[in-house]
Amino acid sequence: MGESYFDGGLLQLIGWKLLGALIILCTFGICTPWAICMIYNWEISHTVINGHRLRFTGTATGLFLQWIKWFFLCIITFGIYGFWVGIALKKWQVAHTEFAN
């Protein structure tokens, strides 16, 4: 069995998070899915599980479509669905994560 580790650096993470925040602020939140995908792609590409590097296959467009669906579900349920959005996002991320090799 191989080793599991994360090889990303703190300064890289800060840079990606700042870039994501800048994208969100400059687009008034419209490009939030793009920022999420960008940061998550960086996190996953620096993760190795049992000697196998991970790869993120999700797209910002795919997340944007989910984002719209979740938004309307929140409106229809008067915000109650908002409690499940975090879980739905995590499920979407995991569904689009695979071993690179």
pLDDT band at 2 (very low <50, low <70, confident <90, very high): confident
pLDDT, one tens digit per residue, over 34-83 is 999 999 999 999 999 999 999 999 999 999 999 999 999 999 999 899 99
Residues 34 and 23: beta-carbon distance below 8 Å: yes
pLDDT band at 101 (very low <50, low <70, confident <90, very high): confident
In Å, how far are 33, 41, 88, 89 from 83, measured between CA atoms?
18, 24, 10, 11
Structure tokens at 13: 């993470």
- Counting residues of the chain whose pLDDT is more than 90, the rounded percentage is 93
Residue 68, classified by CB atoms within 10 Å of its CB into exposed (0-12), middle (13-18) or buried (19+), is exposed
What is the DSSP code (8-state) at residue 95? H
Structure tokens at 93: 């991320």
